[in-house]
Each structure stands twice: as structure tokens, then as C-alpha cells.
DNA sequence: CTGATGTGCAACCAAAGGTTGCAGGAGGAT
DNA sequence: ATCCTCCTGCAACCTTTGGTTGCACATCAG
């Protein structure tokens, strides 16, 4: 059930990764993990408007796509961001963004060309 | 129902816009609209693995956040991408991506500093 | 051992993406 | 005007997913 390529075959985006970072709560969790260095389901839930169990599920999702790694420490289970995977995710975000920008530019350019030709 | 700022107060991301572009089907619809220039619920659904009704709902969402604009043309209702809004969305994607990158860099730098201090 | 604290699992709820089915409006052909 | 076709819009329904509550189990501190 992974993904690959969009309908137009340009973006080459991993849908699993996207849906993982598409959720606002998960994005905030990543933010917290980045700033704090690490965190458990309990500590994260204290700084978020959701319950510990919800956070635990999200951590499961993030762990499954590899954005986060669990480090069991006795009683608790500390989670830390996987740098490489997050970098990959960030790259994909930037990629899609710049793809859109590029197309918008191209469209604008074409529009201007048409405008010029009509003036001839 | 808008949004604003993440838990750490850094990103300033519009959650409505994010959730709009977070859906893979909607992203592909935007792709198609960008490449084709315009499209109706029917034409888009023909090039996507979902039904016309599903596409119509997505167009509703995209229209609500302003990423797309409807242009009634007699029998059919043509949709076109709103350039400014999509540019805004692209900027936000790039913003979050670069924020993550920056934090990863900072963490890496700190780690290296600690490593150095330990060697003293 | 006893009491906190942290985790894990299960049942349950609501919202969202998706489907089928059907009624209705706009054009083209006769 | 009529009929047929095509596209849209609305409603009911299913499934997944983000979220909750509740409870059982494990681990550390006293």
C-alpha cells in the first residue's frame, strides 16, 4: 500500500510519509520532539490538547513510517525523531511546493506570451 | 475555524490550508488542474481512481479554502486553480520543510559541540 | 509489600473520504 | 415543443481514522 507517483507523474511523493505529516497533531508532535530532543506519550500529551492514548496512536503511525524511533528506557518508552527520515519528508514538502511554484510560473509566462501575440 | 500557530509557536501554518492539501486525492486534483488549466468534476473523475461525487466533495473543500475557483459555464461548472492561494500553500510547505531542516541542522551542530567539549 | 506512575489493549464515538442511487437542469436532435 | 443525453446536486450508507474513556499490566519508589 505504498505509493509512488502522482497522476501526472511529476512529484514522486511517498503517500505514507505525506499522510503521516499531513495530520496537524502529528506535525506538532514532531515539533515538540525536535525542540525537546525526546519525549514519551505521556510527556507529549501533557503539552498537547489530546489524550495520552491518542498521542500513543500517532507515535505508532510515525514509528511505522520511520519518522520517529522508540527507545525503551525501563518503565517508559522514549521517542526521538529520526533525522534522515524527517529530512526526507522536509525535502518532499519543498519538492511539491517548488513544483507548484514552477507550474504557476510557467502558466503565467504562457499567459503573457499569448497576450503579446494578441497585440501583434 | 481558522488556525494559527503550532504548539511551539514557530511555524504559523494555516491548518485549513494544510488539511486541504494534505489529502492525496486533492493534491492530484490540483496537479491535474494545473497541467490542464481547468476541469470539471466529471473530467477530473475520469482521470482519477475515485467517483465523480468524491471529486465534487473535494472540489467543495478546495473551493472553501480558496485554492480553487468555480466558473459556471452553462451546463457544466469549470474549476480553475487560484494562483495566489496555491502560491501561499506552496510557500507554507516550503516554510515547514525549511523549519524542520533548520532544527535538524541546529541539533546536529549542538551534538558536534558536545562531542568537542567531551574531548577536552 | 504497597502505592504511584507509565504503558498497552479494547470498546466506543464522530468526522471524513468514498460509494451507490436518484432527482433535476441545460443542450442538441427530431 | 419533445425526447434524449449529459452533467450537476442531494441523500443514504459504509469504512477508515483521529479521539475518547475504561481497565489491566508492568515498573520504580517508599
At residue B107, the pLDDT reads 87
Coil, helix or strand for A83?
helix
Task: From the CA of B23 to the C1' of C17: give the distance in Å.
Answer: 9
- Asked if A30 and B51 touch (Cβ cutoff 8 Å), the reply is no
Give A18-44 pLDDT, tens digit per residue. 999 999 999 999 999 999 999 999 999
At residue B65, the pLDDT reads 95
Considering all nucleic acid strands, name the nucleotide whose C1' atom is nearest to the C-alpha of residue A39: C6
Structural domain contains residue B62: yes
Structural domain contains residue A27: yes
At residue A12, the pLDDT reads 61
Structural domain contains residue B45: yes
How many other C-beta atoms can be found within 10 angstroms of the C-beta atom of residue A74? 6
Calculate how close chain B gets to A83, using CA atoms only, in Å. Answer: 7
**Cα B89 from Cα B67, distance rounded (Å):** 8
Flag residues of chain B having pLDDT under 70: 1-12, 120
Structural domain contains residue A39: yes
For residue A26, CA distances in Å to A53, A97, B3, B107 come to 13, 20, 15, 20
Residues of A in contact with B28 (CB under 8 A): 6-8
Structural domain contains residue A5: no
At residue B104, the pLDDT reads 93
Alpha-carbon Rg for chain A in angstroms: 20
C-alpha cell at A23: 495530520
Predicted TM-score of the model (pTM): 0.85
Structural domain contains residue A38: yes
Chain A residue with minimum CA distance to B20: A22
Strand C bases within 7 angstroms of protein beta carbons:
5-10, 16-21, 25-27
Average pLDDT across each block of 10 residues of chain A; the chain has 120 residues. List them in order.
45 82 96 96 97 98 96 94 95 93 91 84
CATH of residue A52: 1.10.10.10
At residue A7, the pLDDT reads 44
Structural domain contains residue A9: no
How many other C-beta atoms can be found within 10 angstroms of the C-beta atom of residue B65? 18
* Partner-chain residue, chosen from B7, B90, B96, that has the shortest CB–CB distance to A47: B7
Structural domain contains residue B79: yes
* Domain span holding position B21: 15-119
Calculate how close chain A gets to B73, using CA atoms only, in Å. Answer: 21
Q: Per the structure, how many domains does chain A have?
A: 1
**Cα B84 from Cα B67, distance rounded (Å):** 8
Calculate how close chain A gets to B120, using CA atoms only, in Å. Answer: 24
Amino acid at each position: 500500500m505504498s505509493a509512488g507517483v502522482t497522476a501526472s507523474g511529476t512529484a514522486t511523493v511517498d503517500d505514507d510519509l505525506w499522510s503521516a505529516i499531513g495530520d496537524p497533531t502529528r506535525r506538532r508532535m514532531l515539533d515538540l520532539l525536535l525542540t525537546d530532543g525526546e519525549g514519551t506519550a505521556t510527556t507529549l500529551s501533557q503539552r498537547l490538547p489530546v489524550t495520552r492514548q491518542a498521542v500513543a496512536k500517532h507515535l505508532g503511525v510515525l514509528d511505522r513510517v520511520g519518522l520517529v524511533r522508540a527507545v525503551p528506557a525501563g518503565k517508559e518508552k522514549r521517542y526521538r525523531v529520526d533525522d534522515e527520515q524527517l529530512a526526507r519528508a522536509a525535502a518532499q514538502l519543498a519538492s511539491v511546493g517548488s513544483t507548484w511554484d514552477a507550474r504557476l510560473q510557467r502558466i503565467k509566462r504562457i499567459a503573457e506570451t499569448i497576450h503579446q501575440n494578441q497585440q501583434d
